[in-house]
Structure 1
């Protein structure tokens, strides 16, 4: 039985509320699921463990968050009983998004699927859930992605760009790498 994905409690500032609004707007534009029998409500999200990638002979498989300190609770985190958050820059966040997509797989038309593949927004939410970012950093990273899409001469939000029929995973990784390089 898949584990139910539950969000860790954190304070929603203006950036967090905008992120929630973006997710809700994205979900609203998706077609309704074909079979909703047994769904617990309008949004039933489950988190599945993707199959472990197989490293090539002689290589060592690194986790997507390799090189970034694990979220460690501070004294204030313990006192307020809140989850720890690893502080990352928007550029680091974009590189983590690329790594997360590389490890879990890329997807179009949904936040994530049963195998664990994710779209760009799904990867950002996964990183946020893992404690490697804040809503303000995610918002700034999405602005950088939007700017990079504009540099390509295209318009629209990252979600529409991700879901374009001619889009490939390599395009997504290239966009994320270029956006991250602009803020280093």
Structure 2
């Protein structure tokens, strides 16, 4: 059966659209502001913005995703590229290495973390599996994912670990906190390199 004629459950379509909408909202918030504020805002908006209490730094950088339901978590990764929401973005959307790393952490937080394989039967993902979700949905390309992987590998090398990050993830002593800490340290290092 051709992929374009396959029927998909309604909740799969909603979850795909929700996940992509959440990622898009995060990326829109991260986009650099190139226009002068006076060009895009009214005086009332500027006054209200100036008087508003700025959000904490963690609130500014922490995107939120709606947790996917069980069906969305367990479909094969190749099927992510066939979702109607994914097709809206064509061949893909360029994201930075920092954004890729942050979104990798979010996928792990939402789907659950796994070791020993790219994914569990219940849909939990390892670090590499979470990167695959982003790639299949069209966020970033192979070069972005490879550069993000290199950043995580650099963190491990600084710790004196030569093992590839995906094998490090699969170690029996590894925990969810270890995996997220690795990703977040890579985010911090990438930001420092780019500033």
| TM-score of the aligned structures, taking structure 1 as reference length | 0.57
For residues 104 and 171 of structure 1, the distance between their equivalents in structure 2, rounded to whole angstroms, comes to 16
The structure 2 residue matched to 1:98, chosen from 105, 115, 120, is 105
Q: Is the 8 A contact 1:65 1:96 kept in 2?
A: no
Mapped pair 1:141 → 2:148: yes
Q: CA deviation at 1:160?
A: 1.1
Structure 2 match to 1:161: 168
- Cα separation, 2, equivalents of 1:83 and 1:107: 30
Q: Is the 8 A contact 1:94 1:179 kept in 2?
A: yes
From the two aligned structures, give the one with the greater helix fraction.
Answer: 2
Partner of 1:43: none
Once the two structures are superposed, what CA deviation does each residue of 1:125-146 show, in whole Å capped at 9, x if it has no partner? Answer: 1000011111011111111110
Question: For 1:65 and 1:167, how far apart are their aligned partners in 2?
Answer: 31
> Secondary structure of the residue that 2:190 maps to in structure 1?
coil
The answer on whether the counterparts of 1:146 and 1:157 sit within 8 Å (CA) in structure 2 is yes
Provide the residue aligned with 2:75 in structure 1: none
**Cα RMSD between the aligned structures?**
2.2
Q: 1:68 aligns with which of 27, 31, 55?
A: 27
Evaluate the alpha carbon distance shift between residue 65 and residue 110 of structure 1 in structure 2; reply closer, same or farther with a 3 A threshold.
farther
- Greater relative contact order (Cα 8 A, min sep 6): structure 1 or 2? 1
Unaligned runs of 5+ in 1: 1-5, 7-48, 53-61, 70-81
Q: Deviations over 1:54-89 (max 9, x none)?
A: xxxxxxxx94665124xxxxxxxxxxxx93322111
Aligned to 2:80: none
Contact in 2 for aligned 1:108/1:119 (Cα 8 Å): yes
Q: Distance in 2 between matches of 1:103 and 1:134?
A: 22
The equivalent residue for 1:44 is none
Tell me, in whole angstroms, the C-alpha distance in 1 between the residues paired with 2:142 and 2:108: 19
**Structure 1 SS opposite 2:27:** coil
Matches within 5 A, 1:79-98: 83-98=90-105
1-structure distance, mates of 2:24, 2:108: 12
Give every structure 1 segment of 4 or more consecutive aligned residues whose post-TM-superposition deviation is greater than 3 Å: 62-66
Q: Is 2:67 the counterpart of 1:108?
A: no
Larger radius of gyration: 2
TM-score w.r.t. the length of structure 2 is 0.54
